[in-house]
Each structure stands twice: as C-alpha cells, then as structure tokens.
Structure 1
Amino acid sequence: MLQGEHILIAELKRGSKDAFDQIYKLYAGKLLAYCVHYTKSREDAEEIVQDVFVSLWNSREAIRQEETLHSLLFTISKHRIINAFRSTINSPVYEDYVDYQNELSAGEDYDWIEYERYVKIVKEAICKLPSTQQRVITLSRFYQLSNKEIAERLSLSEQTVKNQLSLGLKTLRELLAKILVIFVISIILNIVNRWL
C-alpha cells in the first residue's frame, strides 16, 4: 500500500486527475468520519473534506515524495477543523483539545466527556450575553452569515451588527478565559494520568 501511495503521489504531482480520483476514493470516507467526530456536523465536515482535497490539488507540486497520503490528508484536516472552530468561537483551546484527542487515538477509545463539557461551557457562556449579541454571534459564527445578511435578518443596521459582534466576542473571550483554564488543566491531568 505504501508503495502504491508513492506512485499516486508521483502521478498527482504530475497533475494526474486519475490519481487524484483514486486518492479521493481511498480517503474521503475516512476523512469525513474524522471531521464529523470533531465538528459534530456532517455538513461542516463535508465542507472541510472538500476544502482538504481542493488544497491537496492546488498544492500538489509542493508535496514531498516521502510523505504518506494518510499523514498529509489528516494533518490538513486537523488544521481545517481547528481553523473552522476558531472562526466559530475564536478559541485556541480547541487546538489543545484536538491534539489531546489525537493522543488518545493512538491506542485507546475516544473519550468525549471533555468535549461535551467544553461545548456545554461555550453554550453557557453564550447564554450569559445579551440576547442581541447571542443572536448576532450565533448567526455569524455558527451559520457563517455576513454582517449584511445578519442585519437584514435581525432588522438591524450593519454598524449595529458589527458593534454587537465585537462586544459579544470580547465578552465571550473574557468569560471563556476565566472558565477554560480549569478545563485545560483537566485535559492535561487526563493526559498525564494516561501516561502513568
């Protein structure tokens, strides 16, 4: 299989669409499952997988021949998941969480208790915001609407949307910074306990 991958990479670097199609067939399902696991959204996961393969095609000439497709594609996917989550919540803590889950995947079942706790913390923090900020952040970060689309949907001016988004995200970051220190410590303790 490894030899076959090196052949596929060589052909892909030469611009072979057949090689690209074979790579897609080999890895799209696995990447989708991986992304759904983290995003909890099939739609978001499908978008990330498509983005991963577009990135693979666009940067095909820069691929090093010694790379494996598995590590390359899953690394790209990991970064896309982190970027997607950051654009939603603007929180670097999720990168630590993905790294933590990658540690667990080496030989143990996934433990989603921490993830569920993290989601709960974020939702509780959003609920503490004024209702307009809650709606603006939800539409902007979860539904990826532009300020103009949010303004039309909520019957607000674009400037009001911009102001509410800025205020809401600032407050959310402050709320999460206070709460997430404990969360990160619990993740670190879990990792240490697993190593012992």
Structure 2
Amino acid sequence: MEEALLITRLRNGSYSAFNTLYRMYAKRLYAYCLQFTKSAEESCDIVQETFVKLWENRNKLQDCPSIRPLLFAIAKNDLINAYKRRINSPAYEDYVCFQDALKDEDTHLHIEYQEFLDNVEKAIGKLSPSQQKVIRLSRFQNLSNKEIATQTGLSEQTVKNQLSIGLKKLRELITEFISLALPLLLVN
C-alpha cells in the first residue's frame, strides 16, 4: 500500500494503517536509537514513545509522501532528551560516542545535532566564568572535584557547589531550548 495513503488513513484514526507503519519503521528506528543509546531497553522505550507521539498527534499530520522524516525527528528529540537527563552523569563517554555516531549520520541530522551542541555551548556561556570552567573540566575533561580544586585553586566544596548550581542552570537552559525547538519539529 502506498505510504501517503497510509498516512491519510492514520490521520483518520485507522489502527491497521498505524500497525502497518509500525511494522515498516520500528526496526529502523530501533537500530537508529541503538547507535546512540547502546541500550536495547532504552532504544525500545524511545521507539515506543515515538509511535505513541505519532498516534497522539495523528490528526496534525500533513499530506506527505513519507512519514520517515517525522518519525526520525521525534526519535532524535527523544534521544536528545535522554542525553539531557544524563547531563548530571559523570559518564560523559556516552556524549562522545553520541557525537561520533552522528558523524556517520546523514548531513541533515548532523546539522540539527550541531545546532543543539551550539545551543549547549551558548547555554554554558551564560553561566558564571567559575561555573563554566568547573563544568568544562568536570564534564569535558573528566576531572574529579579534587583535581578541579587543585587546578583552579578553589576549595573542593566550592567546586562541588559551582558544579551543582551550574548543572542545574544548564539543564534549565537546555530544557528551554528543547521546548522552543519541539513545536518546530512537529510542524515540519
């Protein structure tokens, strides 16, 4: 069946059209998500969330020849949200793997991800100089609080406080960016 017809039927509430689209794209979305999450369980969750969002927003679908770009945009946004939740994790190796995996993706997704990274950099730039330095040393150079204290001349407790406050502000700024970008993704 032609995909454009499936999209029209889905918009009208057809469960069979939804199931057909699920069978067409679930495995591809899973493989895409697995590249970044390295977790079968998390990838399954993101695929399920993607299709739930598709179903919940089916009446907003535009006439288009393929649903693929929308599905992958929703999944990408869920991946970004998953990484945003992990920003407080010292295991920033995932961040590096995520960035490296994106280099292999098509140009469009890479550009969108680069825009996200630019916004993260802008958000870091809005922090105090001390918070910027502590976050960069902690999250990008993987230094411990003690190592950061030695390198910066701050007390270990000050480093801990600056890191905590800075990460909280950073999460708020990134959340603000995501909330501004999501409606644009759903419209396209």
**TM-score of Structure 1 vs Structure 2, range by shorter chain:** 0.5 to 0.7
Shift, 1:101, TM fit: 5.1
Counterparts of 2:165 and 2:144 in 1: how far apart (Å)? 9
State the distance in 2 between where 1:34 and 1:58 align. Answer: 22
Deviations 1:75-126 (A, max 9, x none): 11111100111011169xx99x96885564238xxxxxxxxxxxxx85973x
- The 3 A distance-change label for structure 1 pair 101 and 20 is same
Aligned to 2:155: none
Poorly superposed stretches of 4+, deviation over 6 Å:
97-100
Identify the residue that residue 159 of structure 1 maps to in structure 2: none
Shift of 1:8: 0.6
Name 2:19's counterpart in structure 1: 21
Percent identity over paired residues: 33
How many residues align? The count is 122
Cα separation, partners in 2 of 1:98 and 1:124, compared to 1, 3 Å: closer
Aligned to 1:38: 36
Structure 1 residues 14 and 101: alpha-carbon distance in aligned structure 2, compared to 1, 3 A threshold: same
**What runs of 5+ residues in structure 1 fail to find an aligned partner?**
108-120, 131-165, 175-196
Q: Write the distance in 2 (CA, Å) between the matches of 1:123 and 1:45.
A: 25
> Within 5 A, what are the aligned runs for 1:145-160?
none
CA contact (8 A) 1:8 1:19 kept: yes
Cross-structure match for 1:170: 164
Residues 60 and 168 of structure 1: CA distance in aligned 2, closer, same or farther (over 3 Å): farther
> What is the rounded CA distance, in whole Å, between the counterparts of 1:106 and 1:85 in structure 2?
20
CA contact (8 A) 2:3 2:65 kept: no
Structure 2 CA distance for aligned equivalents of residues 84 and 64 of structure 1: 27
Name the amino acid aligned to 1:37: Q
Change in 2 beyond 3 A, CA 1:128/1:37: same
The residue that corresponds to 1:105 in the other structure is 105
Taking the TM superposition and a 5 Å limit, the aligned residue runs for 1:61-140 are 61-66=59-64, 68-89=66-87, 102=102, 104-106=104-106, 122=139, 125=142, 128-129=144-145
Which letter does structure 2 place at the counterpart of 1:68? Answer: S
Counterpart amino acid of 2:105? S
Match of 1:186 in 2: none
Distance in 2 (alpha carbons) for counterparts of 1:83 and 1:106:
20
Amino acid at match of 1:35: C
Q: Which amino acid aligns with 2:64?
A: E
Q: C-alpha root-mean-square deviation of aligned residues, in Å?
A: 3.9
Does structure 1 retain, via aligned residues, the 8 Å contact 2:35–2:101? no
Instruction: Pick closer, same or farther for the CA change 1:6–1:99 going to 2, 3 Å.
Output: farther
1:32-70 CA distance string (max 9 Å, x none): 000000111111111111000000000000011126211
Report Cα offsets for 1:114-153 as digits up to 9, x if no partner. Answer: xxxxxxx85973x7258xxxxxxxxxxxxxxxxxxxxxxx
